[in-house]
């Protein structure tokens, strides 16, 4: 296929280790499972079949983003494409909720407040204490970032506001220059970008879902207004366990 100059493919990484126990991951650097790797490979094959090639890939500093990039590019047959990372493309920071599952969170803070934090736009979860060892200022991944810039918790609005400078200052110039971009990030990060690109209200944004493992192709006019948004159809991933005659399909993650 011939690609429009003004086009970006967005991709949410697939199944990770903490999905197995339904824990909130956020900035915790958890790897993909075999299912997540297979989802990335399937997406790469579909991108290759549809004729997509990329000049650059941009993603978060978290390994589930890097793993997705490596697998997708290998499946396309272009492993040499440069991969740029930024903490601004990280997942939303869930503060004190990180590492907990929903049942634990409900028991600690109640279901009403918890759901308000998850889906609402403005209110962040309880933050990590500044000296909590889970705070990103203790992580070598962020050693060159001013600790005052690193979040201890984020609302969806906070996540969007720290992501948009990367979109405006790094990605937009690349798109205007005609580069074909693949952006590999996370559910809430991509929700914030979709909200910005489509001009959605906070209420409408709360209903936006970004399924894992499915490339989202966004085409723009010369002024970078959205002309078309298309999900690339990718077959459901199945992995056959040893001695198991019935492989299980991989779930599409929405949380």
- Examine the residue annotation and report whether 91 is marked as an active-site residue of this protein: yes
Mean pLDDT, range 225-247, rounded to an integer: 71
Active-site residue identified among 91, 135, 154, 186: 91
Q: Which of 6, 13, 58, 186 is catalytic?
A: 13
Mean pLDDT of the chain: 90
Report the distance separating Cα 103 and Cα 23, nearest Å: 10
Q: Where are the domains of the chain?
A: 1-17+32-49+75-89+211-220+230-255, 93-155
Q: 70 or 115, which is more confident?
A: 70
CA dist., res. 208 & res. 251, Å (int): 18
Mean predicted confidence (pLDDT) in 65-93: 98
What pTM, to 2 d.p., does this model score?
Answer: 0.90
Q: Mean pLDDT, to the nearest integer, of 32-45?
A: 97
Q: Which pLDDT value is given to residue 120?
A: 84
pLDDT one-digit tens code per residue, 137-179: 999 999 999 999 999 999 999 999 999 999 999 999 999 999 9
């Amino acid at each position: 296929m011939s690609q429009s100059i003004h086009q970006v493919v967005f991709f949410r990484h697939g199944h990770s280790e903490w999905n197995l126990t339904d824990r909130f991951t956020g900035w915790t650097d958890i790897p993909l499972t075999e299912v997540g790797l297979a989802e990335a490979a399937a997406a790469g094959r579909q991108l290759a079949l549809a004729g997509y090639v990329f000049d650059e890939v941009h993603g978060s500093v978290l390994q589930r983003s890097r793993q997705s990039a490596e697998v997708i590019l290998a499946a396309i047959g272009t492993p040499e494409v440069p991969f740029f990372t930024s903490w601004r493309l990280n997942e939303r920071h869930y503060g004190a909720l990180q590492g907990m599952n929903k049942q634990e969170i409900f028991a600690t803070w109640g279901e009403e407040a918890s759901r308000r934090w998850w889906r609402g736009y403005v209110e962040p979860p309880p933050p990590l204490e500044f000296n909590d060892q889970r705070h990103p200022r203790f992580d070598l991944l962020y050693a060159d970032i001013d600790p005052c810039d690193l979040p201890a918790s984020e609302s969806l609005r906070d996540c969007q506001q720290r992501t948009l400078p990367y979109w405006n200052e790094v990605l937009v110039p690349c798109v205007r220059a005609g580069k074909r971009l693949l952006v590999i990030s996370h559910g809430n990060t991509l929700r914030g970008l979709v909200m910005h690109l489509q001009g959605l209200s906070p209420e409408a944004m709360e209903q936006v879902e970004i399924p894992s493992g499915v490339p989202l192709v966004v085409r723009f006019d010369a002024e970078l207004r959205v002309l078309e948004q298309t999900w690339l159809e990718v077959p459901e991933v199945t992995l056959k366990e040893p001695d198991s005659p019935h492989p299980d399909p991989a779930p599409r993650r929405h949380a």
